[in-house]
Chains A and B, each alone.
Chain A
Amino acid sequence: MGNSKLMRMIAFTVSVAMISGAALGAFASPVMAASTSGGNSATAEAIERLSDDTWSEYAARYGSYPNYTGEPIVIQAADADQSTLPDGAEVLEELDGKTNVLYLPDEGTVTWKVTVPESGLYAIDLSYYPIESKMSDIERTLRINGEVPFSEVRNLIMTKRWAEDLSEVTVVRDENGNITGIEYDKDASGNDRRPSKIETPEWMDYTVSDPTGYYNNEFYFYLEAGENTISLQAQKEPMVLDTITLRERESNITYAEYQAMNEAAGYTKAEDFSIFLEAEYSSATSSATIYPQNDKSSAINSPQSAKDSLINVIGGNSNSYTWSNLGQWIEWTFVIPEGKAGLYTIGTRYLQSASEGLFVSRRLYLDGEVPFEEANNLEFMYASGWATGTLNDGETEFEFYLSEGEHTIRLEVNYGHLADLIAEVNDCVTRINEIYIKILQISGSDPDPYMDYSYYKRIPDEISEMGVLAQRLYAVSEQMQELSGQSSSSTATIENVARTLEKMAKDSERQIAKNFTQLKSYIGNLGTWINGLSQQSLILDYFVIQPAGGEMPRADANFFESAWYEIQMFFYSFFEDEASLASAVEGEDIVTVEVWTTASREYTQIIRSLIDENFADENPGISINLKLVAAGTLLPATFSGVGPDVMMDVTASDAMNYAVRGATLDVNHYEGFDELYGYFHESAWVPTTVALGSPDGEIAVYGIPQTQNFNVMFYRTDIFAELGLDVPTTWDEFNAILPILSSQNYLVGIGKSTERPSVFNTFIYQNGGELYSNNGTTISFDEDVTLDAFTRFCAFYTTYNFPLTYDAPNRFRTGEMPLFIGDYITNYNQFTVFAPEIKGLWGFTAIPGTVHDDGTVNNSAASTVTYAVIMRDAASRGTDEAGFQFIKWWMGSEIQGQYANELVALLGPAGKYATANMDAFNNMSWSANEIREIENIFDNLVGVPEMPGSYIITRYVEFAVLNVYNYDYVPSEALMDYTQTINSEFERKREELNREFFIPIR
Chain B
Amino acid sequence: MSENTVQAKQKTPKPVARKDMTKWQWTWKEMKRNYVAYLMCLPFYLIFIIFTVLPVVLSMFFSLTIFNMIEAPQFVGIDNYLRLFLDDDIFIIAVKNTFIFAVITGPVSYFLSLFTAWFINELPPKIRAVITLIFYAPSLSTGMTVIWKVIFDGDSYGYANSILMRLDLIQASIQFFQNETWIMPLCIVVALWTSLGVSFLSFIGGLQTIPKDQYEAAAVDGIRNRWQELWYVTLPNMKQQLLFGAVMSITQSFNFGQIVTDLAGFPSYNYAAHTIMHHLQDYGTTRFEVGYSSAIATVLFIIMIGANLLVNKLLSKVGQ
Are A805 and B70 in contact, with the CB atoms below 8 A? no
Contact A657 B288 (CB under 8 A): yes
Task: Please determine whether B175 and A966 come into contact, CB atoms closer than 8 angstroms.
Answer: yes
Segment among B121-129, B200-208, B263-271 that sits at the interface with chain A: B263-271
B51 to chain A, nearest CB (A): 15
Q: Are A804 and B69 in contact (CB under 8 A)?
A: no
> In the complex the two chains form, is B70's CB within 8 Å of A992's CB?
no
Contact between chains at A951 and B69 (CB < 8 Å): no
Return chain B residues, CB-CB under 8 Å to A550: none
The answer to whether A966 and B180 have CB atoms under 8 Å apart is yes
Beyond A639-B70, A662-B70, A807-B157, whether A962 also contacts B175 by CB under 8 A is yes
Task: Answer whether residue B106 sits at the interface, using C-beta atoms and an 8 A cutoff.
Answer: no
B175 cross-chain contacts in A, Cβ below 8 A: 804-805, 962, 965-966
| Residues of chain B contacted by A801 (CB below 8 angstroms) | 172
Residue among A636, A805, A951, A962 facing the most chain B CB atoms (10 A cut-off): A805
CB–CB B178/A661 < 8 A = no
With A and B bound together, what is the CA distance between A801 and B180 in angstroms? Answer: 20
Do B269 and A635 touch across chains, with their CB atoms under 8 A apart? no
Cα A636 to Cα B71 with chains together (Å): 12
B262 contacts partner chain A, Cβ-Cβ < 8 Å: no
Min CB gap B212→A, angstroms: 53
Task: Evaluate whether A962 and B269 lie within 8 angstroms (CB atoms) in the complex, with A639-B70, A657-B288, A662-B70 already known.
Answer: yes
Q: A661-B288, A958-B269 are in contact. Are A805 and B153 (CB under 8 A)?
A: yes
Answer yes or no: B237 CB below 8 A from chain A CBs. no
How does the 8 Å CB contact mask read for B53-67 relative to A, with 1 for contact and 0 for none? 000000000000010
Contact B156 A959 (CB under 8 A): no
Q: Which residues of A in the span 692-750 have a Cβ within 8 Å of any Cβ on B?
A: none
Q: Which of B70, B178, B265, B286 contacts A638 (CB 8 A)?
A: B70
Which residues 897-955 of A have a CB within 8 angstroms of B? 951, 955
- Checking B71, B157, B172, B289 against A662 with a beta-carbon cut-off of 8 angstroms, the contacting residue is B71
A959 to B269, CA, bound (A): 6
CB distance from A644 to the nearest CB of B (A): 14
Q: Are A635 and B179 in contact (CB under 8 A)?
A: no
- Secondary structure at the A interface, as helix, strand, loop or mixed, is helix
Find chain A residues with CB under 8 A from B153 CB: 805
Give the residues from 277 to 313 in chain B that come closer than 8 angstroms, CB to CB, to chain A.
286-289
Assembled-state Cα–Cα distance A639/B62 (Å): 15
CA of A959 to CA of B90 in the docked complex: distance in angstroms?
Answer: 14
Instruction: Determine whether the beta carbon of A661 is less than 8 Å from that of B157.
Output: no
B197 on interface, CB distance cutoff 8 Å: no
A804 to B175, CA, bound (A): 8
Most buried by A among B166, B172, B270: B270
Residues of A within 8 A of B265 (CB): 753
Indicate with 1 or 0, residue by residue over A661-700, a CB within 8 angstroms of chain B CB atoms. Answer: 1110000000000000000000000000000000000000
Whole-angstrom distance between the Cβ of B284 and the nearest chain A Cβ: 10
Complex Cα–Cα for A773 and B306 (A): 47
Closest residue of chain A to B166 (Cβ to Cβ) is: A446
In the bound complex, CA of A661 to CA of B72 (Å) = 11
B68 close to A (CB within 8 Å):
yes
Tell whether B251 is near chain A: CB-to-CB under 8 Å.
no
Query: Is B155 part of the contact surface with A, judged by Cβ < 8 Å?
Result: yes
B116: interface (CB < 8 Å): no
B175 to chain A, nearest CB (A): 6
Nearest chain A CB to B82's CB is how many angstroms away?
Answer: 14
Overall SS of chain B's interface: loop
> Nearest-CB distance from A524 to chain B (Å)?
15
CA distance A951 to B281 in the complex (A): 14
Interface residues of A in 594-652 (CB under 8 A from B): 635-636, 638-639
Q: Which residues of chain A from 445 to 465 have any CB-CB distance to chain B below 8 Å in the complex?
A: 446
Contact of A951 among B71, B157, B172, B286 (CB under 8 A): B286
CB–CB A962/B178 < 8 A: yes
Contact across chains for A803 and B156 when beta carbons are under 8 A apart: yes
Partner of A804, one of B178, B267, B289: B178
Q: Which residue of A lies closest to B289 (CB)?
A: A992
Determine whether the beta carbon of A959 is less than 8 Å from that of B270.
yes
Contact A661 B70 (CB under 8 A): yes
**B257 within 8 Å of A (CB atoms):** no
Contacts of B286 in A (CB 8 A): 951
Q: Which residues on A sit within 8 Å (CB–CB) of B269?
A: 958-959, 962
B245 close to A (CB within 8 Å): no
Q: Is B139 an interface residue (CB 8 A)?
A: no
Bound-state Cα–Cα, A289 to B175, Å: 47
Q: A958-B269, A966-B179 are in contact. Are A803 and B68 (CB under 8 A)?
A: no
The CA-CA distance from A639 to B175 in the complex, in Å, is: 41
Minimum CB distance partner of B287 in chain A: A951
Q: Which residues of B contact A994 (CB under 8 A)?
A: 71
Q: Is A829 interfacial (CB 8 A cutoff)?
A: no
Q: How many angstroms from the CA of A806 to the CA of B162 in the assembled complex?
A: 13
Check A661–B68 contact: CB distance below 8 A: yes
Complex Cα distance, B288 from A658, in Å, reads: 10
**A945 smallest CB distance to B (angstroms):** 18
A635 to B285, alpha carbons, bound, how many Å?
10
Cβ < 8 Å to B, chain A residues 788-832? 801, 803-807
B261 within 8 A of A: no
A966→B178 contact, CB < 8 A: yes
Residues of B within 8 A of A959 (CB): 269-270
Interface pair B288/A963, CB less than 8 Å apart? no
In chain B between 164 and 199, which residues have their CB closer than 8 angstroms to a CB of chain A? Answer: 166, 172-173, 175, 178-180
Which residues of A sit under 8 angstroms from B66, Cβ to Cβ? 992
Complex CA–CA separation, A635 to B286 (angstroms): 12
Q: How far is the CA of A801 from the CA of B179 in the complex (A)?
A: 17
Please measure, in the bound complex, the distance between the C-alpha atom of A803 and the C-alpha atom of B156, giving whole angstroms. Answer: 8
Cross-interface CB contact of B155 among A638, A662, A806, A963, cutoff 8 Å? A806
**Least distance between B164 CB and chain A CB atoms (Å):** 13
B316 to chain A, nearest CB (A): 43
Q: How far is the CB of B126 from chain A (nearest CB, A)?
A: 37
Q: When chains A and B are docked, how far (Å) is the Cα of A804 from the Cα of B71? A: 41
CA distance A638 to B70 in the complex (A): 7
Q: How far is the CA of A341 from the CA of B77 in the complex (A)?
A: 95
- B180 and chain A: residue at smallest CB distance: A966
| Nearest Cβ on chain B to A800's Cβ, whole angstroms | 12
Complex interface: chain B residues within 8 A of A803 (CB): 155-156, 173
Known: A638-B70, A804-B178. A955 touches B267 (CB 8 A): yes
Closest to B291 in A: A992
Question: How close is A679's CB to chain B, nearest CB, in angstroms?
Answer: 29
In the complex, the answer to whether B178 meets A963 with C-beta atoms within 8 Å is no
Asked if B156 and A635 sit within 8 Å, CB to CB, the answer is no
B64 to chain A, nearest CB (A): 16
Give CA–CA (A963, B272) in the complex, Å.
12
CB pair A963–B70 under 8 Å, yes or no, is no
A635 to B70, CA, bound (A): 8
- Least Cβ distance of A698 to chain B in Å? 21
| Cβ–Cβ < 8 Å partners of B157 in chain A | 807
Shortest A23–chain B CB gap in Å is 15
Residues of chain A within 8 A (CB-CB) of B69 are 635-636, 638-639
- B287 surroundings in chain A (CB, below 8 A): 951
Distance between Cα atoms of A661 and B178 in the complex (Å)? 34
In the docked arrangement, what's the CA distance between A638 and B179, Å? 39
B70: which of A658, A806, A951 is its contact (CB, 8 Å)?
A658
Nearest CB of A to B116, in Å? 35
* Whole-angstrom CA separation of A636 from B70 in the bound complex: 9
Report how far A663 CA is from B72 CA in the complex, Å: 12
Cβ contacts under 8 Å, B270 to chain A: 959, 962-963
In the complex, residue of chain B having the shortest beta-carbon distance to the beta carbon of A992:
B66
A–B Cβ pairs within 8 angstroms, 21 of them: A635-B70, A639-B70, A661-B68, A661-B288, A753-B178, A803-B156, A803-B173, A804-B154, A804-B175, A805-B153, A805-B155, A805-B175, A806-B156, A807-B157, A951-B286, A951-B287, A958-B269, A962-B175, A962-B179, A966-B180, A992-B68
5 tightest Cβ-Cβ pairs between the two chains A and B? A805-B154, A661-B70, A663-B70, A805-B155, A639-B69
Contacts beyond the supplied A638-B69, A951-B286, A962-B269: 6 A-B pairs with Cβ under 8 Å: A663-B70, A803-B156, A804-B154, A806-B155, A966-B175, A992-B66
